[in-house]
Structure 1
Amino acid sequence: MSAEVAKEHVETVSAASHAYVVEVGGKLDGQNTIASQPVAGRNTMERPLFEPNVEVRIENLGDTTVENVRLTANGRGNRRSLDAIVSEAFRRYAGKETGLADREKALAIWRLVRDAFYHFNAPELWFEDGTVKSDLYDAIHLLNSYENSGCSCTAIAVARLWEHAGLKTRVWNFATVHWISEVWYDGAWHMLDADMRVFYLQRDNKTIASVEDCIRDRDLIRRTHHYGPFAKTDPKDDAAHGSWYQDKNTGTPYEVASCEPNILSLRPGEAVVYRWDNIGKFHDNGRHVPTRPKFANGKIIYRLPRPLMHEKHTWDSHIIPVTSPWCIVGGRFTGKLVSAGKGGLLRVDISFDRKDWRCLWDSQQDKDPNIAVSLDDAIATKRTNAKYQYWLKVQILKLVSKPEDYRLDDVCIETDVEMNVHASPSLTLGKNQIAYADDTQGPRRVRITHVWRESSENTPPSTPTDGRHADGVLSWRGATDADGDEIVDHWVEVRGDADLRWPLACDLERVTGSGDPRWQAPPGWLNPGETYFWHVRAKDKRGAWSD
C-alpha cells in the first residue's frame, strides 16, 4: 500500500513528566491492515500491510545525563521492567490495573505474551554447567527485543510474569519436545500455552484444563484448534499434539533470569531512535533460512559534545561505555583524527567485559584521518548470548610526538539494536496520548520527534451488524465498503462475557477465510441454554479490516 508524505511532530521536554497528543489522520494503520504469513508448519506470523510509524527520536540536548527515560503511546511502549509489563497487560486486556481476579490476571498476561510473538527462528539456547541458558529466558529482554521465539522462552516468560503478579506457577517440559506453563487460580492448575497460542477446556466448556487433566483425557487436546485464529484447520495435526502429554515432567533445568529493569539513560549528546523497519540485523541461531524473522532495527546514537582528545588533554587512553535495553546487533564508530606531530599510533578497541580487547582500527594501517569503523563483525549475533553492553577504548600506543598533539573530533558511536515493535510507542489512527517520564534529579532538556505516514488509499469496510445465533450458525448483515472493494474474509470472536475481554475457547476465535457473512461454530463448544457474545470484523480485498 502506498502512503502520503511523512508527517512530523516535535516536542521539547523540561520536566520529569510530560504529556501531549499526536493525531494521526488517514484511514489505515498497523491495526486495521494486519496480514498473516505462514512460517513453520501451521505457525503464522502477523504483520501490517501498512505501518504508519517511521521513527521516534528522543534526544538529550542538555548538559547532564537524563536517567531512566520512558515513552508510551496510549499506555503502551514501556516494557523495560516487570512492573511495567504486568501493568500494561492488566490495562490493555482487563481495562484496569487493580481489583482483578487471579483468573483475569493470568489471562491478561498470557494474552500479552501470546500477541507479542510467533514461533519461528528461535534464537540460540545452550547448556552450560547442566543448565539451559539464554537471554530469552529473561522476560524483559524477550519482550523488548524479540518477536520470534520458542516454546521454552515463552513458557518461562509467562511464568515469570505470573509470579511477579503474585500467582503460583510451574513449567513443564515434555522430553524437550515442548515446554508449557501452568498457573494456579480458583483452587486448581490451568495450562496456558503462549507459544502455540492455545489452551484446552474441560468438558464443561468453561474451565481451562491443567496438564494433568489433559494427560487423563487427551481428547481435550485432540478436539482443540492450535496456533491461533489465522492458522489453517488441521484436525489430524491437532490430534497429534496429544502424544506430547506424558505422565512425567522431565523438568530440564534452566537458568532463572533476574529480570532486572532495563534502564535507558541518555548522556549529553545521546539519542535513542525507535524504528519500525529494519536493516537486516538480528540475533538468531541461523536456522529456518531463508525466512527472516520479523523485527525492527532501532539505534542508540552518541555524539560526544566535545572533542574526545584535544590540546588540553595529556592522557593516553579513553574508555567509552555503551549500554542498551535492547539486544545489540551492530554499530559504527566515526571521528576525525587531527595530528600535529609526526607518526605515532592511535587505536580503537572494543570489549564486552573490559578484560579482552579487540582492535577495530589503528592509524598505521589506515592513514585516512576520517575514521569510519563498523562494529558489526565484532558483535556476534549468531549462536551466542546476545550483547547488551560494550566498551570502546581510544588509546595512543606509540608516540613520536606529545599526546597533546593529537585531537579526535566529531566522535559519534551508532549502536544498532533489535526491537520488538510491540514494545515501542506506536501511533495508531486518531488522537494518541503520549506520556514521557524520566528519573532525573535536576534540570533536563529533551527533544522528542515523531515521524509517521498517513494513507487514505483504502477505506476499511464497515463493521458487520445484526448478528443472530441459531444452532451454532452465526450470521450477520454483510459489511459494506466505501471503495466498493469485495469483502473476502471475516474474523469471528465468541466470548462468554459481554465486554468481549476474555477468550472462551481457541476454536471460537477464528479467521473464516471467506467473504460469506455466516460462520458455523465447530460442534461441541457451545452449551445449550448459555448466553454468548460475539463480534465480527470484515476484511476487504486490499487487506483493510473493519473495527
Structure 2
Amino acid sequence: MTTDETHRESITTTEAAYCIHVGGTVDGESVRDPVGYGNYGQCWENNLWTRLENVGEELVVNPWIEVGHSHWQSLEQILESILAPDMSDADKARAIWEFARRHRYHSTTADDEVKDTVKMLNVYGYTLCWDEAFTLSNLWQAAGLKIRRGLPHGHCTTEVFYDGAWHLLDSDEHLLVLGRDNKTIVGETEISRDHDLMKRSHAYGLLSPENRSRSESAASLFCYAGERSGTRARIGDHRMDLTLRPGESLTWRWDERGRYHGYGDAPPRFCNGSLMWSPPLDSTFERWTESSTSAQSNGAGLSADALSWLLQTPYVMVGGQLEADLGQSPVRVELSRHGEGWVELGNGLAGDVILDLDPYFAHDSAPCYSVRLRLTGSGVTVNDLHIELTLQMAPLSLPALRLGDNRVIYADGSPGRRVEITHAWREREDLQAPAAPIPEGFGTAS
C-alpha cells in the first residue's frame, strides 16, 4: 500500500534551503541494483515529479535545485563535486573513474550527443565504450591531466598519465588492472605484453558473474605492441543553463513516455520531463514574444497578424503538445526546430485547438534544444496558449528525495524572483528490509 505526498515551497530569495521528510520503509535507491556495466534493475521508485515554476513577473535566470549531490550544470561544477583541493594526480584520475563508472550504463544515442559529458550525465545517462572514452578524457583533461588514446582491438579506451607512467582506467567495463606487484595500476602496453594481468581482473562490473571465457575475451582485446600516441579532443561545451519566464516551468519526472533521442531502439532506462509555458497575453506580451506584427492586447488576449515565441531548454526536446483558444479568424501555426526552416502544424485553425507535436520530434532526427512557434493570419485572436515540450532526462541526475530527512537547496542568478517548487512522491511500509543473518553459534558459550 502506498500513499501520495506533496510539498510546496515558495521562494523569493537568491538562495534558499528547506527540509522534506520522506516516510515509509524504502525509497528508489534502496531497491536499485548497484550501477554497473549494463542497465541496472530497480523494482520501485518513490519519486513522482518535481516542478520548478516562475510564478512572478520577471525572468528567473539559472534556477536550480539540488538534493544530496552537487550541481552538474557544467563540466567545472561536475569536477568540483568529484575532486578535493589536496588530491594528487593519481587521486584525481581514480576519483574521476569511480564517478564515471557509477553514473551510466551501456547504451548510446549513436551520435555525438553522449560524448558531451554534461549532456550524458543530465540528459541521457548512458554511453557505449566509444562514448565513455570521451567521458573520461573530457573530465581528466579538464582536471589538468594528460591523456592518451587507447588502442585495444574492438573496444575504445583512454589512458591517463600520472606518477611518470600511463595507466588504463576503463569506466565502461569497470576495469582497473594491477601489475605483478598487486599495487600499481598498469597501462595498455603492460597488458598487451602480459594477458594474465587482464585475465585475473574482473571485467564488466559488480553485477557480472565471474566467467573464464569473458576474462579471456577481455584480455584478447589488448594486442597492440607498436608505438603509442594520439590524444582526444575535448567534446562538448553544453551547460544546463535555464531561464524561466513568467508562467514557465520545468518538471523533472521519474517515469518515461517512450519519447527519446537516438538512432536506434529506445534505451532500456530513461525519464521524460517537460517544459511548460503559457505565454503572457496581457500588456507585457512584447517582452515575451520574439516578434509580432500589428499586435495589441485587450487585457484578456492578443490580436495580431503574426506572433512568434522562442522556447529553449538544456534538455533535449523529444515531443510535446500545443493547446490554444483562438478566435474565429483562421490561423496558421508553424514550428521551427533549432534554427531550421518552418514546418506547418496546422492551417485554417480556429476556436479550441490541440496540436500533437510528437511527430515533429522523431527519435532519429537531429537533437533539438530550442524551438520557435509562429502564428499568422489576418487579425489572429489568441485568448489562451499553452505549450508543453517533452524532454529526455537521465534518471540518476534527477533531484531525488530519499528516505528520511532531505535538505533541498535552491539557487538562481536573478536580482529578484518568485518561484514555486513542488515535490510529489510516494511512501510505502509494506516492504521491510530483511534482518541481518546471525552466524551459527554467534554469541553462545564455547
Under a length normalisation based on structure 1, what TM-score does the superposition of the two structures give?
0.73
Other structure's SS at 1:190 match: strand
Distance 1:49 1:477 in 2: 32
- Could you tell me which residue of structure 1 aligns to residue 373 of structure 2? 392
Q: 1:321 aligns with which of 310, 319, 330?
A: 310
2:247 paired with 1:247: no
CA 311–270 in structure 1, closer or farther in 2 if over 3 Å, else same: closer
Aligned to 1:280: 258
> Cα offset for 1:102?
2.1
Displacement of 1:147 in angstroms is: 2.4
- Name which of 25, 30, 33 aligns with 1:32: 30
- Structure 2 residue aligned with 1:219: 196
How big is the shift at 1:104? 2.2
List structure 1 segments (4+ residues) > 6 angstroms apart after TM superposition: 249-255, 476-479
Aligned match for 1:80, one of 56, 73, 76: 73
Counterpart residue type for residue 314 of structure 2: P
- SS of 2:101 mapped into structure 1: helix
Aligned pairs (5 A) from 1:121-132:
122-125=108-111
Paired residue type of 1:46: Y
Tell me if structure 2 keeps the 8 A contact 1:350–1:391. Answer: yes
- Say if 2:303 and 2:381, in contact at 8 Å, map to a contact too: no
Query: Contact 1:334 / 1:371 at 8 angstroms: preserved in 2?
Result: yes
- Segments of structure 1 that go 5 or more residues without pairing to the other structure are 91-96, 126-133, 466-475, 480-547
User: Could you say which residue in structure 1 is the equivalent of 2:277?
Assistant: 302
1:169–1:183: 8 Å Cα contact kept in structure 2? Answer: yes
**Aligned mates of 1:298, 1:68 — CA distance in 2:** 18
Q: CA deviation at 1:173?
A: 4.8
Separation (CA, whole Å) in 1 of partners of 2:230 and 2:424: 46
Does the aligned pair in 1 maintain the 2:319–2:389 contact within 8 Å? Answer: yes
Q: Does 1:49 align with 2:43?
A: yes
Contact 2:120/2:126 (8 A) holds in 1 = no
The 10-residue stretch of structure 1 (263-272 or 180-189) with the greater mean CA deviation from structure 2: 180-189
For residues 48 and 318 of structure 1, do their structure 2 counterparts lie closer, same or farther at Cα, with a shift above 3 Å needed?
Answer: same
Question: Is 2:113 the partner of 1:135?
Answer: yes
Matched, 1:373 2:346: no
From 55, 63, 72, give the equivalent of 1:69.
Answer: 63
Aligned residue number for residue 17 of structure 2? 19
8 Å contact kept, 1:81–1:260? yes
CA shift digits 1:378-401 (9 cap, x unpaired): 11322x4322122111222xx4xx
Partner of 1:335: 324
Q: Output the CA distance in 2 between the equivalents of 1:373 and 1:243.
A: 54
Deviation at 1:462, TM superposition (A): 4.5
One-letter amino acid of the structure 2 residue matched with residue 437 of structure 1: A
TM-aligned CA deviation for residue 463 of structure 1: 5.2
Query: What's the offset of the Cα at 1:269?
Result: 0.5
Does residue 264 (structure 1) correspond to residue 242 (structure 2)? The answer is yes
Distance 1:210 1:225 in 2: 16
Q: 1:113 aligns with which of 82, 100, 113?
A: 100
Amino acid at match of 1:447: E
Query: Is 1:446 aligned to residue 432 of structure 2?
Result: no
Give CA deviations for 1:108-157 in whole Å, capped at 9, x if unaligned.
Answer: 2212221111113x2123xxxxxxxx121111111111123211111101
Q: CA 1:334–1:158 in 2, change beyond 3 Å: closer, same or farther?
A: same
Does 2:148 align with 1:170? yes
SS of the aligned residue for 2:173 comes to: coil
Q: Are the counterparts in 2 of residues 301 and 414 from structure 1 also a CA contact under 8 Å?
A: yes
Secondary structure of the corresponding residue to residue 150 of structure 2:
strand
Q: CA deviation at 1:314?
A: 6.7
Q: Which residue in 1 is equivalent to 2:288?
A: none
Query: d(CA) in 2 for partners of 1:253 and 1:332?
Result: 44
**Deviation at residue 98 of structure 1 after TM alignment:** 2.5
| DSSP-derived class of the 1:392 partner | strand
Change in 2 beyond 3 A, CA 1:261/1:243: same
Q: 1:305 to 1:462 in 2, by over 3 A?
A: farther
State the AA in 1 paired with 2:409.
A
Q: Aligned match of 1:190 in 167, 170, 192?
A: 167
Q: Identity of counterpart residues, as a percentage?
A: 30
Q: Are the counterparts in 2 of residues 464 and 477 from structure 1 also a CA contact under 8 Å?
A: no
Aligned partners of 1:385 and 1:110: how far apart in 2? 30
**Is the CA contact 1:56–1:275 (under 8 Å) kept in the aligned structure 2?**
yes
Distance 1:426 1:276 in 2: 9
Q: 1:173 to 1:334 in 2, by over 3 A?
A: farther
Q: Does 1:100 align with 2:74?
A: no
Specify the alignment match of 1:455 in structure 2: 428
Q: CA deviation at 1:26?
A: 1.2
Alpha-carbon shift at residue 230 of structure 1 (Å): 0.8
Q: Which amino acid aligns with 1:279?
A: R
Instruction: Kindly provide the amino acid, as one letter, of the partner of residue 185 in structure 2.
Output: I
Distance 2:49 2:303 in 1: 41
Q: Which runs of 5+ in 2 are unaligned?
A: 286-294
Structure 2 Cα separation of the partners of residues 359 and 250 of structure 1: 53
More displaced, 278-287 or 456-465? 456-465
| Whole-angstrom CA distance in 2 between matches of 1:477 and 1:304 | 68
Q: Which has the higher contact order (CA 8 A, sep 6+)?
A: 2
Do 1:36 and 1:44's aligned partners in 2 also have CA atoms closer than 8 Å? no
CA contact (8 A) 1:310 1:408 kept: no
Output the CA distance in 1 between the equivalents of 2:369 and 2:30. Answer: 34
SS in 2 for 1:32: helix
CA distance in 1, matches of 2:316, 2:229: 28
Say yes or no: does 1:415 pair with 2:386. no
1:403-423 per-position Cα deviation (integer Å, ceiling 9, x unaligned): 2xx321221111111111211
Using the TM superposition, give the Cα deviation of residue 445 of structure 1 relative to its aligned residue in structure 2, in angstroms.
0.2
CA distance in 2, matches of 1:261, 1:247: 40
Pairs aligned (count): 427
Residues 1:152 and 1:249: Cα distance change in structure 2 (over 3 Å): farther
Alignment pair present for 1:428 and 2:412: no
Write the mapping of 1:337-352 to structure 2, written as runs, cut at 5 A: 337-339=326-328, 345-352=330-337
